[in-house]
Amino acid sequence: MADEIIVLITASSREEAVTIGTALVDEHLAACVNIVSEVFSIFFWEGRTQDSRETLLIVKSDLSMMDRIVTRVKSLHSYSVPEIIALPIIMGSREYIEWMRSSVKKSI
């Protein structure tokens, strides 16, 4: 396990999250996307602290897909600066990691 990642993406609504998640899985950029309805976010934007209800996508993928994920998410997202951050998976069940690897098309 070296290149498997979790990508966190916040979206403005459940509908937007479903659109993004479906595209990532359909295009084999991600093996799986979990959608967590309504997270409460506090952030600094446009010179002040703000808050918003958002929807969180938890994307399971491969580091080699990250540039393509960023490009695809930006093409579908309503925010001018969407959150798209990746964290390494340092451990997981062998069977699940193998399934992830088989579900994501590697970059050429």
| DSSP notation for 83-105 | -EEEEE-----HHHHHHHHHHSP
Query: Once rounded to an integer, what is the mean pLDDT over residues 36-42?
Result: 96
pLDDT at 105: 81
Mapping DSSP to helix (H, G, I), strand (E, B) and coil, where does residue 108 land?
coil
Kindly report the CATH number that applies to the domain delimited by 4-103.
3.30.70.120
Indicate whether 107 pLDDT > 70. no
- In this predicted structure, what is the pLDDT of residue 88? 96
At 44-100, the pLDDT tens digits run 999 999 999 999 999 999 999 999 999 999 999 999 999 999 999 999 999 999 999
pTM here is: 0.93
How far from 4 is each of 18, 57, 70, 88, 104, CA to CA, in Å? 22, 16, 16, 6, 10
pLDDT at 108: 44
Q: Which residue has the tokens 């084999």?
A: 28
Please give the structure tokens belonging to residue 31: 């093996």
What is the gyration radius of the CA atoms in the chain, in angstroms?
Answer: 14
